[in-house]
């Protein structure tokens, strides 16, 4: 199976920045790659996704602060997070969806992002 490896998580003060990286273990065609997050006691929610054509979709809570980008050739996706807030604290998961049928969702193991003073 495809494995997704995330990196870049850590602790940062409010207003700071972090960049998350995700790389697929194998070459594959993904209709979508992106990021989800889950805070303690909360359900997992979409953060940002990037489709094959490069079009992006962001959660309202991160628009203007986060930027997702994708390198289709390398099967990688980045998440640049600026102006971080304590509310952004969560485990961030990389996600990829295969183009072939049946569609398959792949998930990374998650990387912790903590925003606090």
CA gap 65, 107 in Å, rounded: 24
* CB 81 within 8 Å of CB 17: yes
Which has more pLDDT, 62 or 99? 62
CA gap 41, 52 in Å, rounded: 33
Three-state DSSP class for residue 48:
strand
Mean pLDDT value of segment 89-104: 94
User: Which pLDDT band holds residue 9 (cuts at 50, 70, 90)?
Assistant: very high
Q: pLDDT tens, 14-54?
A: 999 999 999 999 878 899 999 999 999 999 999 999 998 89
Q: How far is CA 99 from the centre of its chain?
A: 18
User: Which pLDDT band holds residue 105 (cuts at 50, 70, 90)?
Assistant: very high
Q: pLDDT tens, 49-81?
A: 999 889 999 999 999 999 999 988 889 999 999
Nearest CA to 54 out of 37, 75, 35, 71 is that of 71
């Amino acid at each position: 199976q495809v494995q997704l490896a995330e990196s870049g998580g850590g602790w940062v003060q409010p207003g700071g920045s972090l960049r998350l990286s995700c790389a697929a273990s194998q070459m594959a065609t993904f209709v979508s790659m992106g990021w989800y997050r889950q805070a303690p006691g909360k359900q997992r929610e979409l953060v940002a996704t990037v489709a094959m054509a490069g079009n992006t979709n962001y959660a309202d809570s991160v628009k203007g602060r986060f930027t997702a980008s994708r390198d289709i050739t390398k099967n990688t996706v980045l998440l640049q997070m600026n102006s971080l807030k304590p509310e952004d604290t969560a485990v961030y998961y990389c996600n990829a969806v295969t183009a072939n049928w049946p569609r398959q969702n792949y998930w990374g193991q998650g990387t912790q992002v903590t925003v606090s003073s």
